[in-house]
Amino acid sequence: MFPEKIMLMVEPGFVCRTCGQTHEGVPLSFAADFPDMYANMSASDRSRALISSDQCIVDEASFFIRGCLEIPVLDSSEVFIWGLWALVKEEVFNGISESWEEEGRETRRGPFKARLANSLSVYPETLNLRLRIVIQPLGTRPLFILEEEQHPLATAQQHGISRLEALELSATLLHVQGPWSRSPQ
């Protein structure tokens, strides 16, 4: 996947072949801080938007929900997590918002159709990939399930990635400028 970014594991961290330094622990969670539409707006244009840690509205016309796209790490109980944003219709946004504090919401709401609202540079274009939003129990962000089965990110989500691929992906993301931040697990 990223052969030039392979690193050697050294407990409790790893020596990264990208920078040669030891990184403590292996981050398996990265998040886009904003939907790309908002991130690409100038500071003055951002006044046209409302944003919180989990929801965003731009120009009262584009509605975004934050969620998690999980990729299983094969032969382990670990999961590589992307914290991403999805573009949804206003009715979906309102439905999810109304149930935000609702116990048992995962059994009564969704799934919902959406489009991925982030472009991830480590994959072929991901912006606008079709996905399904699956509501999770109270206190947990929604789960994003990609529906475009031929895309490499969807393949990884469906079939998992090896531990080495997860380490290579983490090393790349630690050193490549992108719209994400390292998320606490």
Does this model's pTM top 0.85? My answer is no
With a cut of 60, say whether residue 144 has pLDDT above it: yes
With a cut of 50, say whether residue 185 has pLDDT above it: no
- Return the percentage of the chain with pLDDT > 70, whole number: 80
- Return the percentage of the chain with pLDDT > 90, whole number: 58
How many whole angstroms separate alpha carbon 5 and alpha carbon 174?
Answer: 11
With a cut of 50, say whether residue 9 has pLDDT above it: no
pLDDT greater at residue 175 or residue 146? 146
Average pLDDT, the chain: 84
* Average pLDDT of the residues in 35-46: 96
* Average pLDDT of the residues in 121-137: 94
Question: Residue 85's beta-bridge partner residues?
Answer: 66
With a cut of 50, say whether residue 2 has pLDDT above it: no
Contact call for residues 92 and 115 (beta carbons, < 8 A):
no
Q: Could you tell me how far CA 14 lies from the centroid of its own chain?
A: 23
Domain ranges (residues) in the chain: 27-160
* Average pLDDT of the residues in 66-94: 94
pLDDT at 109: 87
* pLDDT tens-digit map of 148-182: 989 999 999 999 999 888 888 887 787 655 444 44
Burial code of 158-176, b = ≥16 C-beta within 10 A, e = fewer?
eebbeeebbbbbbbbbbee
